[in-house]
A and B are shown apart, each in its own frame.
Chain A
Amino acid sequence: MANDSNQMLDAWAEQNDYKWGFVTDIESETLPPGLDEDVVRAISARKKEPQWLLEWRLKAYRHWLTMDEPDWAHFPDHDWRPIDYNGISYYSAPKSDDDRPKSLDEVDPKLLETYEKLGIPLEERAALAGVAVDAVFDSVSVATTYREKLAEVGVIFCPISEAVHDHPELVQQYLGRIVPPNDNFFAALNSAVFTDGSFVFIPKGVTCPMELSTYFRINSLNTGQFERTLIIAEEGASVSYLEGCTAPMRDENQLHAAVVELIALDDASIKYSTIQNWYPGDENGKGGIYNFVTKRGLCEGDRSHISWTQVETGSAITWKYPSCILKGHDSIGEFYSVALTNMKQQADTGTKMIHIGRNTRSNIVSKGISAGNGQNTYRGQVKIRPKATNARNYTQCDSMLMGDRCGAHTFPYIEADNDTAIVEHEASTSKIGEDQIFYCNQRGISSEDAVSMIVNGFCREVLAELPMEFAVEAKKLLEVSLEGSVG
């Protein structure tokens, strides 16, 4: 990188004193595109990080340089535009209030229409569309009330950049333990340049008194493309965390490479729900997010329980395998997934269940829906280690096709190294029937409503895992994503 851009970086990193980090960063700007050690240093400096974290990032970065971008999951006939890692800006803070729309009138009506269809309340729509927050409502006070309530029971829920300062011992102890920086290409990249994400700590014996949702941290809606989330549930603790909002991002081929780490100690339980609706690109496959995410949970303690639920409807390409390492005896891992691909979207998703402890159980339910020219792949691995006596796995993998230009693929890998293991796998592929739609029509139900009804029925076991409000949103999202896919 040229000298003057180095100076620019330094100046950028120094501007504005660190106050509340995240919240006051709203005024800040975007780092120029490109990636080298100076960029990593600049990000770390910008966040006033301790030395150990800078070293950690640099190590990840240096390792990343030695790695190759994976290319195993995409389909040859889909136009893959290589990612130019030097064409990406690695720090993109929210726009300053001057640049934001002042009211809903200034927002793209198409975007608003989508929000409306999703049933998002008016104030929230404005926030999602990036209307200056104080013009809508005071998000800081919302977040604060929320946080105070949690603090009463000892729950920590804050941006990870803040946790680095306020709870350094916890962050240092757990960061990268479950997804090490050298785990894979995108995890290494994330470790080097992550800008924010959530930190959750539930102390011993505490049941988190409310669903934790990124929604309550309005400003996190604009977090960069490299989120880092860490959730720790101590002995006997339990928490349900909801991630993602339904805001479509109108960006071109942007890379989104998040890392999520969960750890559950004895008798702890973590339920992690995601609704992913990043911009999918257009009918011709132009634009859209590359969603390459590493999510992994460690059931470290006996009788611990980690459950992943995801509804993936967005992104041009998704590669994502939320996994569970079932180390504690009698621990349970679950994965419930709906992935919908329309237009030229590709989703390659599934899970890994690694059974290490005795009497460990895992349950996998995957529902893939393909429409338009969409490609949908379930890729899963169930591994029973030699000492995992009496391990059980049940996998159910259903695909639904709409039309004849789309595809569904299933790759279940099973490796059982203990004779007492019972591993069951069921799979089905069906076509959404003209006869089903006609039957609904004959009862007065429009084709569009019929399709969403049939699809929701197909996904019911997964939707049932979502917290109530999320389930409603997910249903609407499936509806909107399928709009116009039947004649």
Chain B
Amino acid sequence: MLQITNLHASVEGTEILRGIDLTIPSGEVHSIMGPNGSGKSTLARVLAGEETYEVTEGSITLDGEDLLDMDPDERACEGLFMAFQYPVEIPGVSTKYFLRAAVNAVRAHRELSELDAYEFLQLVKEKAQALALDTSLLDRSVNEGFSGGEKKRAEIFQMAMLDPKMCVLDETDSGLDIDALKVVSDGVNALRDGNRSFLVITHYQRLLNYIVPDVVHVLVNGRIARTGGKELAQLLEAEGYAGIEAESGVANGA
């Protein structure tokens, strides 16, 4: 279970997150929607522990463990995974090599034995089958020259390989055509197992037709302005964010 309490975070002295309370019980899928600039990516990056963002108040725990006390790699090992909105390229490092390093780092933390090359490839095969993803990308350098869709697929594949407790997806739908969107959502849905939790960040309701959330939160200007069921997403699609912005009493960018 992920528990965020009164979270405040700023960048270079400007407060971006202004008191967020959010609880995601095990096995649930929550979605965060909101206008551009409302702080969605900031929330994801604060969860993952990026240093640029300073947490000034509040707490974050994952299954009772204090995440704010951990370095980013430790958080990952503890089971937090973030699918990046813009995954970076690492030239010259094959995706396979990278993933094996990641899997073994996580396994070491969980006191599991290191996978040798053979066992690793077996795991790759198994996960690729379960997600109906092809593995040809694995021989290329990490994200290098990948199309937008390939990058997102690779992120989902990594997510499957690392077996996280808590998955954060930051605008995984952005820049995807409908076919790619389906592949990615099918992948995510295949990973829903009743224990794993998801935080799906999106600007558009479209993704939520494929990944159906249990709870939808609307983030406006660094605060959760409204929380509801999946029908809230449809309402937003029809009416836009203006109504909620007005109602929450803060104009975007104020």
Q: Which residues of A contact B88 (CB under 8 A)?
A: 433, 435-436, 439
B105 touches A442 (CB 8 A): no
Shortest distance in angstroms between A400's beta carbon and chain B's nearest beta carbon? 10
Q: Cβ of B181 < 8 Å from any Cβ of A?
A: no
- The number of chain B residues touching the other chain, given as a range, is 20 to 34
Q: Cβ of A103 < 8 Å from any Cβ of B?
A: no
Q: Cβ of B71 < 8 Å from any Cβ of A?
A: yes
Among residues of B, the one whose C-beta sits closest to the C-beta of A443 is B102
Q: Which residues of B contact A454 (CB under 8 A)?
A: 90, 93
Given A449-B105, A457-B90, A458-B92, decide whether A441 and B76 contact each other with a Cβ distance below 8 A.
yes
Question: Which of the listed residues B72, B81, B105, B106 has the most CB atoms from chain A within 10 Å of its own CB?
Answer: B72
Q: Cβ of B35 < 8 Å from any Cβ of A?
A: no
B72 touches A441 (CB 8 A): yes
B90 touches A441 (CB 8 A): no
Contact of B90 among A439, A459, A461 (CB under 8 A): A439
Q: Which residues of A contact B93 (CB under 8 A)?
A: 453-454, 456-457
Interface residues in B168-183 by Cβ distance below 8 A to A read none
**Bound form: Cα–Cα A247–B101 in Å:** 28
Interface residues in B43-92 by Cβ distance below 8 A to A read 48-51, 71-73, 76-77, 81-82, 84, 87-88, 90-92
Contact of B102 among A445, A458, A461 (CB under 8 A): A445
Shortest distance in angstroms between B67's beta carbon and chain A's nearest beta carbon? 13
Contact of A439 among B77, B87, B97, B109 (CB under 8 A): B87
Given A438-B72, A439-B84, decide whether A444 and B102 contact each other with a Cβ distance below 8 A.
yes
Contact of B98 among A433, A434, A443 (CB under 8 A): A443
Q: Cβ of B218 < 8 Å from any Cβ of A?
A: no
Q: Which residues of B contact A443 (CB under 8 A)?
A: 76, 98-99, 102, 105-106, 158, 162
Q: Cβ of B141 < 8 Å from any Cβ of A?
A: yes
B84 touches A444 (CB 8 A): no
B73 touches A456 (CB 8 A): no
A436 touches B90 (CB 8 A): yes
Residue-by-residue, is A455-479 near B (CB-CB < 8 Å gives 1, otherwise 0)?
0111111000000000000000000
Shortest distance in angstroms between B92's beta carbon and chain A's nearest beta carbon? 3
B76 touches A444 (CB 8 A): yes
Q: Which residues of B contact A434 (CB under 8 A)?
A: 51
Contact of A444 among B51, B87, B109, B141 (CB under 8 A): B109
- The number of chain A residues touching the other chain, given as a range, is 20 to 34
B73 touches A441 (CB 8 A): yes
Residue-by-residue, is B98-125 near A (CB-CB < 8 Å gives 1, otherwise 0)?
1101100110010000000000000000
A457 touches B141 (CB 8 A): yes
B73 touches A445 (CB 8 A): yes
**Bound form: Cα–Cα A435–B81 in Å:** 16
A444 touches B90 (CB 8 A): no
**Bound form: Cα–Cα A442–B102 in Å:** 9
**Bound form: Cα–Cα A454–B48 in Å:** 20
Q: Which residues of B contact A433 (CB under 8 A)?
A: 88
**Bound form: Cα–Cα A425–B244 in Å:** 57
A449 touches B101 (CB 8 A): yes
Shortest distance in angstroms between B192's beta carbon and chain A's nearest beta carbon? 21
Q: Cβ of A429 < 8 Å from any Cβ of B?
A: no
Q: Which residues of A contact B50 (CB under 8 A)?
A: 438
Q: Which residues of B contact A446 (CB under 8 A)?
A: 73, 105
Shortest distance in angstroms between B54's beta carbon and chain A's nearest beta carbon? 15
Shortest distance in angstroms between A194's beta carbon and chain B's nearest beta carbon? 39
**Bound form: Cα–Cα A335–B50 in Å:** 40
A457 touches B101 (CB 8 A): no
**Bound form: Cα–Cα A445–B107 in Å:** 11
Interface residues in A422-452 by Cβ distance below 8 A to B read 433-436, 438-447, 449
B91 touches A458 (CB 8 A): yes
Chain A residues within CB distance 8 Å of chain B:
433-436, 438-447, 449, 453-454, 456-461
| CB-based closest 3 A-B pairs | A457-B92, A457-B93, A443-B102
Chain B residues within CB distance 8 Å of chain A:
48-51, 71-73, 76-77, 81-82, 84, 87-88, 90-93, 97-99, 101-102, 105-106, 109, 141, 158, 162
Given A440-B102, A456-B92, A457-B91, list of 19 further CB < 8 A pairs?
A: A438-B48, A439-B84, A439-B87, A439-B90, A441-B72, A441-B73, A441-B76, A442-B73, A442-B81, A442-B84, A444-B76, A444-B102, A444-B105, A445-B98, A446-B105, A453-B98, A454-B90, A458-B92, A460-B92
